Structures are given as C-alpha cells and as structure tokens.
A and B are shown apart, each in its own frame.
Chain A
C-alpha cells in the first residue's frame, strides 16, 4: 500500500500521518504542494497544520495548489482521500466535501482528548470499526465548527454520510455534533480530530486512530 501524504508550506502533521501509514504497514510517499503528479499512490492523506499560514481562510489557498488538482481528479475517480483537520478544511474548500469549518464557538483554540462515535463504518477509511463504536482521539483546532445549510445537513444525515460525531459536550459548536463526513461514494473522508495522533498509547491517548489506516489497507487490498 503506497499512501501519499501532502506537505504544503505550513503543514505540521505530515510526519504524524506518515508514521500512521507505516504503523499500518503501508509506505508513506511524501507529496509536495507544487507536484503535478501523485507518484502512483493508492490513496492520499491531506494532513493537518496551517497551510500557507491559514491566511485568507483556512484551506482557501491550498485548494489551488498544483497537487490538489491531481487529488481532486483522482478523488472523483474513486481514490481514497482522507483530510484531517486543516486537510478537512482544504477538502471542503475544494468541494470534495460539502459544508465549511468555522471558528470554535468559544473562540479559543481547543486541544483535548475527544470521544467520537463511529456513525458510518462502510467508508474506505472506517471499515475496521464496529458501527456505533466510541473512540478516543485528540482534537486540536481553532476553526473546527462544522457548518452547512439545512439541505446539506439533511442530505448528510439521510444518506449516512456523517462518519464521526462528538460524544458529550460539543467542543466547537459543530452542527449536529458532526466531527467528520464522507462524500456520496464513501472514498473521501474529512474529520477535524486527529486519528494520526492516536496510533500508539505511548504518545497519544489511545491507539484508536490506527483503525482508520488499517481500514485503508483493507480497502486498497480489496481494490
């Protein structure tokens, strides 16, 4: 399994995403924001951070990077793509996923260990989880409040496209407690919390996040 991990100027969690891929016995392939090809990878992770300083609006500049044009094209053809935190913001800006991420309702940056409920275990990235399972992984963001119009929310809810939901107190004001969503095809997933920071109980709160990368392994092997 070869998984591309994109680095934009200002990307921070690329090393973590690469490590998570290795923990799932995959090969992490670094992709640079200026690249015009995906180097033959089986899947792509758009990691967290502050791409281009998050200036203008989170993810707004990154979506125009050359490598993102390749990602959009591949995603539309069914390649598994995961956007984490800033990566989720970028996928939303690129219209691979609907809605937008806005400033946390309490305005502060929040870093905490967050319980999530797995709502959809049929996406390319979530098959290793039991439906309804609760997992504990870090959330760390200042602009993680998921917002969408009523029609979009209805579309997401009716079609089981909410992948993860916050359990307990809503940490950032997300509509419907949404922590992560998928596209209609189930190959593109975006979430605010960081599964790549929970692949080893030594350095994370749990290893609950590893399931996402192992799920990808299954998806790629099956494909």
Chain B
C-alpha cells in the first residue's frame, strides 16, 4: 500500500525506519514538528537524503560561512554566481562567462571503480550544463593507496578506465588532474572530478522555478532502481512479497555517456532557443533534490505528478522514484507556450521528455501519485533548512609530537645524481602518461595545454583567442602537518601552476576531502583548512566561487590525510601567448630560477619516498610572493619574454629540471650554488623555473630586479647534449631519465 499524507495523519504512531535512513532522533522529531504529523514514506525518503551530510553540509556549514565572510566586494566583482548555485560563474571578458566546479565521487569509486568514477564525471558535467553552459573540458584529481598494494591494482585501472570510458564517449577533453599515492587512501581512494564550461554572459541559467503555471519537465534517461542506497528499508517494506523478492540493483549508479552526450546537445539547443526558465540536473538524491531545490529557489510552490515519471523498473514506490539516482536526467521549468517547442527539440535528439508537474502559487511542494498526495512539504525545509551541527573541534593531541618530529636528522644521500633518478621514478613524481593516455585530450580542437603541463588550457573564443587555464592541487602531507598552512600551500601551487601557463588567476573552487566529522581532530583539520584557504584567497584577491565537501573518508578509525583539493581558474587574453612546460622551443635559452630556496623538507617527497617519514612543518606559503611571481609570468608571456615555465613543487628543482627536459626533449647544463641537496630537493614554495630566450634575458631579469622578485641564473638549454648535466655532479642522459620517469606506472599496472 502507498503511504499517503492522509494515511500518515491517521496513523501518527506508526514506527518509521528513520534511523536506518541515517536520521537522528532529534532530526526525525524536527520533521514531525515541521509537518505537524509523521512524514509519509516518500517524505521521509526525501528528508533523509536531503538532510544527509552529502546534500545538507550539516557539519561543514558553520565553517564554510567563513568563505563568504572573507570575500570582499572587490573580489566578487567578476563573479556572476557563487556558492549555493550548481557551480560558480565568472566573467572572463569578451562577453564570455565561465563556470567550473569540482566534486567528489570517492565512496562509489571504491565500491565499483569503473561506474563510480564514470558517474562522477557524468554528475559534474550535468552541474555545469545546468548553469546554461556548454561543458568544455574535465580534469580528475585522484588519490590512491600504496601503488603496489593489491587493492590499488583493483581500483586504479578501473577508475582510470571509467573516467576515460565516460569522458571520451562524452566528447570532453581531459586536460589535467593529479594522481597521488599514499597509504592513508588505502580502502578510501579519492576520485574528484572537475568540469569547466562556458556560455555567453546573457545565457546564464539559474535553478529556480518562477512563474505560476509554468510546467516542470523531466527529460533524459528513464528512472530506475539504480543508486537507491538510503531507501532500501522502505523499499523492502512496501514491496509486495507475492511477486517474489525484488533484485536490488547496486547502490552505485550506472552511467551511459551516450545518453549524456545527447542530453548535452539537446539541452544546449533548448537554451539557445530560449525555451527554458529554470533548470536543474538530477544527481545525488535525484528528484527529491531537483524538485525541492527548484521549488525553494523560486517564488511559488510546485505540484509534481509522480506517476508520470517514465520508469525502467516495474512497481517502483513513490519513495523509490523520488530517491533514485539514475543518471543522465535533467529537470526544466518551461513556460506553457513553449512546451510544444521544447518537446520538438527533445524529439529531434530522441530524448524522452515528460511534463511531470507545474509551478503553483502556493508555498508547498505537493507530490501526488495516482491522485493521492504522498508529499506535502514546505520545500525550503527540505532543501535549505536542514540541520546544522556545531561539531566538537579539537586540535589532535599528537599534533605537537608530529610537528616536533622534523626531517632534520634524516640521513642525506652521498650520490645526488642517483637520487635525481630515484625520485623521478618514485610513483608520486613519475610520469602519469599511463593514466592520461587513456583520456582524449584533443576532442573539440580547443585544447592548448594538457597534461603533463602545469595547467590545462582551453581556447574559449576562436575569433579573439581568449581562453582559460586550470589547475588542481593539494599535498595532503603538508595539510596533515599544518592544515592551515597546507591549504594555503595547495592554493599557492594551483595559483602558481595557472600563472606558469601565462594566465591570470581569477577564481577558486575546492573539493574538501576529510575523515569523519564526528572526530574532533578531523573537524579541527577541516576548520583550519577552510580558514587557510579563505585567508589565502583574500590575500590573493580572488574569490572561492563554489566547492564540495566529502566527509567520512576513512578506514576504521584512521582518517585519510586531510585533502582540500584546490582548483584555480585563470584567464588569458590570447592563448597563442601560452607558456609551454618543456624547454627547447626556441634556440638559445637561459634557465632562471625565480623565488627563494630554503632548507624546507617537512612533508617532502624525498622524506616520504626515501625514508617513509612524515613530520615537522611544511614549507612556508608566501602569497604576496606568489602574486608577484604570477604578475611577472603573465607579463613575461604577454611580451614574449618567456619560452618555457615549470612550477617547482614536490621533488623540488631536480624534478622540475627532469620534467622540463623530458617534455621538451632537450638537454640542459645546470650550475648551482650552496648546498646542492637543498638546491635540488627542497620544496620551498613560490618558485618557478623559466626558460628565456637569450635575447630577452636582460629585459626579463631587469624586470624581476625592478619588482624585487629574487631570481638566479641556474643554467642554459643545450639542444645538442641530449642530457641533463649538473655541474659538480655529472650528467644523466635523457634516455635513462625517461626510462626512470616513464617506466614506473606501466611496471605497476600493465
């Protein structure tokens, strides 16, 4: 029997499985108070998914407010939409608006690597589409356990194949990302997916359902039983046993990239023809989320006829239909006069579209199923007025001990030349070609830079050559040692990577991956990281336009390294001025190191890879320096003074040299001063290795000196040598370096 509102009124004392659905006693009591009765099965399903940590941000909300508090009007001046929308939108000039966002799909990808990762890509792409933008490119920051662990061999190939399988078929170039290994991600890999899209400024679509009488149209794939996790209890209770036991589909959704590709093209045609008033994608929490968010963001109520939803399974209950996470679906609000034209476009693309409801003049979200009311709620209470937790926050007792255990006493190697090779072959620094060559980076023909470049870059406008650059970064070891400084360092690196391509950084997104919010130590890490990131953004003068929080990333009581992945978006007026990562593009180049090198080894790749050590303090972030460095790089690109640039991060100068030589397929002669170990392997922030044509050397270094940016000449590019020579140490042939750098991942995963 279907549990209707009438039934709920008549059976106030009926027991409900709210605990199994993840609701606490007081949360359930609040729902009863809001409704003045017990919720129906369908209402309970809705509240339970929408009030989940994933949808409601109940543990993080109080901390995330800090982003808003630290964003000034000036920082906001280029922002067309921000936190709270499907994705942030930034005005990049020439009439273009760019939207970007990164989201996690960690847990599904552990359970079912291929589909988990694939639907992670699908979800973020629909978020971008729901802003009215054409999705243009994707990037995937990934974290795995130990590279040689059995489980890593299971999840990594599956996740990579899933991202490629979905993204390639969708026709979006994959232009960057990260692959990081650390034991803490064993049993809890991180799959974060970023998408960037663009639209003309006037075409921005926000998710709202205004205008009484407007129609609500669900279009895209049919709704099935996939992705229903939370409602399993309800499903088994309401299902008629006489028809036999229902086979439950896995709670990881199954993706169909072909359907999504068609959905994108169909949606863009609908936008172009002006047929859409409001739009929302269906992701986590499915129709529950889409209808309650559309209704609560509009100025009226909404009536949804649930029995009209096209299904792909028989006998689905209203609760199941509402919480299904079947992929490739969108929900649009359309003026009645445009419904026929809307349907015509959908027909052209063979997309199923169904009018499932309308905007009403009340303030309730009413959902009926075969004329019986199964949901009657104030939509804001579902979508926006969920519980807010002030979780206990406490600096972990062992934080002091961790910081006191510095890397100063770790033995340093005799043979530094050998160490360069060992580090180049270490899984975290090794070439990620094995991964990235499974991704299409060329489709649509606008990819100007892609992995292994510091940042990805795409052309937005073929006439004006305007484009954007993107980078995502985070070093979880730094964040573990000092979450505040670590978050700033993640921001600094992403900022520097974007600047190293010649683009001006303008906006920030994030994906905050942490352990359990019920652990006060984890909440401390979270609070510190949010503060560090927000303070850093204020110092750089660029806003956070959106983000995502993923909690409960832990195995047993052991949390992952706190991993606030930071994505930075940059704008370049003319992509033809982009700075490549590899040397050798021009004859006669000088190598300059910009920034200062200090003996900073806390959380370094060397301490991790060679000694398995994590302790001390991370490098110090200096955001004023990063800003200056960025300005110098942008000026250098604009005036054609820089022929290659590569940021220094994990592995220090040694790794930057190896990569710039191998990517450019050109040798170099390097001369360093002082302690060579520090010069080569320190991970001091705020440094970039640049190659400048000899004819520009004086002009460029004069500019650095005039603006008080420390610089040092560290070598020359030598196209004849085919080796990396370091004065005082000897030389490494590019062949042996390539073998070290490119051999590791194939040896592990082929």
Interface residues of A (CB under 8 A from B): 9-10, 12-13, 15-16, 19, 49-50, 52-55, 106, 108-112, 138, 140, 142, 194, 196-197, 199, 202-204
Interface pair B442/A140, CB less than 8 Å apart: yes
Q: Mark B424-448, 1 if CB is under 8 A from A, else 0.
A: 0000000000001111111111111
Interface pair A10/B262, CB less than 8 Å apart: yes
Given A13-B444, A50-B257, A203-B459; 7 other pairs, CB 8 A cutoff: A12-B443, A106-B750, A109-B165, A109-B168, A110-B437, A110-B438, A203-B448
Closest to B349 in A: A9
C-alpha gap A145/B445 in the complex (Å): 24
Q: Select one of B258, B436, B437, B446 contacting A9, CB under 8 A.
A: B258
List residues of chain B with CB within 8 A of the CB of A197. Answer: 442-443, 445
C-alpha gap A196/B256 in the complex (Å): 27
Closest to B174 in A: A111
List residues of chain B with CB within 8 A of the CB of A55. Answer: 258
List residues of chain B with CB within 8 A of the CB of A196. Answer: 445
Supply 17 A–B pairs (Cβ within 8 Å), ascending by A.
A9-B350, A15-B444, A16-B443, A50-B257, A53-B259, A54-B169, A54-B258, A108-B437, A109-B164, A110-B438, A111-B437, A111-B442, A197-B443, A202-B448, A202-B575, A203-B442, A203-B447
User: Contacts A109-B164, A138-B442, A197-B442 given: A53-B447 contact, CB under 8 Å?
Assistant: no
List residues of chain B with CB within 8 A of the CB of A138. Answer: 442
Q: Mark B532-576, 1 if CB is under 8 A from A, else 0.
A: 000000000000000000000000000000000000000000011
List residues of chain A with CB within 8 A of the CB of B440. Answer: 109, 111, 140
C-alpha gap A112/B438 in the complex (Å): 9
For chain B residues 434-477, which have a beta carbon within 8 Å of chain A? 436-448, 459, 462
**Cβ of B327 to closest chain A Cβ, rounded Å:** 14
Interface pair B169/A50, CB less than 8 Å apart: yes
Q: Which 9 A-B pairs have the closest CB atoms?
A: A53-B258, A12-B171, A197-B442, A16-B445, A50-B169, A138-B442, A140-B440, A109-B438, A9-B262
**Cβ of A107 to closest chain B Cβ, rounded Å:** 9
Interface pair A10/B258, CB less than 8 Å apart: yes
C-alpha gap A76/B347 in the complex (Å): 33
List residues of chain B with CB within 8 A of the CB of A13. Answer: 171, 443-444
Interface pair B262/A194, CB less than 8 Å apart: no
List residues of chain A with CB within 8 A of the CB of B445. Answer: 15-16, 19, 196-197, 199, 203-204
For chain B residues 164-201, which have a beta carbon within 8 Å of chain A? 164-165, 168-171
Interface pair B169/A53, CB less than 8 Å apart: yes
Closest to A204 in B: B442
For chain B residues 252-300, which have a beta carbon within 8 Å of chain A? 256-259, 261-262
**Cβ of B748 to closest chain A Cβ, rounded Å:** 14
Q: Is B491's beta carbon under 8 Å from chain A?
A: no
Q: Is B21's beta carbon under 8 Å from chain A?
A: no
For chain B residues 220-257, which have a beta carbon within 8 Å of chain A? 256-257
**Cβ of B499 to closest chain A Cβ, rounded Å:** 20
**Cβ of B265 to closest chain A Cβ, rounded Å:** 8
List residues of chain A with CB within 8 A of the CB of B436. Answer: 111
C-alpha gap A9/B346 in the complex (Å): 12
C-alpha gap A15/B462 in the complex (Å): 12
Across the A-B interface, how many residue pairs have beta carbons closer than 8 Å? 86
Closest to B157 in A: A108
List residues of chain A with CB within 8 A of the CB of B441. Answer: 111
Closest to B266 in A: A9
**Cβ of B591 to closest chain A Cβ, rounded Å:** 24
**Cβ of A41 to closest chain B Cβ, rounded Å:** 21
List residues of chain B with CB within 8 A of the CB of A111. Answer: 168, 436-442
C-alpha gap A194/B444 in the complex (Å): 12
Interface pair B444/A16, CB less than 8 Å apart: yes
**Cβ of A215 to closest chain B Cβ, rounded Å:** 20
List residues of chain A with CB within 8 A of the CB of B444. Answer: 12-13, 15-16
User: Contacts A12-B171, A49-B171, A53-B256 given: A194-B442 contact, CB under 8 Å?
Assistant: yes
Closest to A106 in B: B750
List residues of chain B with CB within 8 A of the CB of A194. Answer: 442
Interface pair A50/B258, CB less than 8 Å apart: yes
**Cβ of A56 to closest chain B Cβ, rounded Å:** 12
Interface pair B258/A52, CB less than 8 Å apart: yes
Q: Is B161's beta carbon under 8 Å from chain A?
A: yes
Closest to B169 in A: A50
**Cβ of A22 to closest chain B Cβ, rounded Å:** 10
Q: Select one of B261, B438, B448 contacting A10, CB under 8 A.
A: B261
C-alpha gap A111/B436 in the complex (Å): 8
Interface pair A12/B448, CB less than 8 Å apart: no
C-alpha gap A53/B161 in the complex (Å): 16
**Cβ of B451 to closest chain A Cβ, rounded Å:** 11
List residues of chain A with CB within 8 A of the CB of B350. Answer: 9
C-alpha gap A138/B444 in the complex (Å): 13
**Cβ of A140 to closest chain B Cβ, rounded Å:** 5
User: Contacts A112-B437, A194-B442 given: A202-B164 contact, CB under 8 Å?
Assistant: no
Closest to A171 in B: B437
**Cβ of B527 to closest chain A Cβ, rounded Å:** 41
C-alpha gap A114/B437 in the complex (Å): 12
User: Contacts A202-B448, A203-B459 given: A108-B161 contact, CB under 8 Å?
Assistant: yes
Closest to B749 in A: A108
C-alpha gap A13/B444 in the complex (Å): 6
List residues of chain B with CB within 8 A of the CB of A12. Answer: 170-171, 261, 443-444
Closest to A112 in B: B437
List residues of chain A with CB within 8 A of the CB of B448. Answer: 202-203
Closest to B459 in A: A203
For chain B residues 57-116, which have a beta carbon within 8 Å of chain A? none
Could you say which of A54, A55, A111, A197 has the most chain B C-beta atoms within 10 Å of its C-beta? Answer: A111
C-alpha gap A55/B261 in the complex (Å): 14
**Cβ of B259 to closest chain A Cβ, rounded Å:** 8
Interface pair B446/A203, CB less than 8 Å apart: yes
List residues of chain B with CB within 8 A of the CB of A19. Answer: 445, 462
Interface pair A108/B261, CB less than 8 Å apart: no
Closest to A16 in B: B445
For chain B residues 732-750, which have a beta carbon within 8 Å of chain A? 750
**Cβ of A196 to closest chain B Cβ, rounded Å:** 7
Could you say which of B161, B261, B436 has the most chain A C-beta atoms within 10 Å of its C-beta? Answer: B261
**Cβ of A205 to closest chain B Cβ, rounded Å:** 9
List residues of chain B with CB within 8 A of the CB of A142. Answer: 168
C-alpha gap A208/B571 in the complex (Å): 29
C-alpha gap A10/B439 in the complex (Å): 17
For chain B residues 639-660, which have a beta carbon within 8 Å of chain A? none
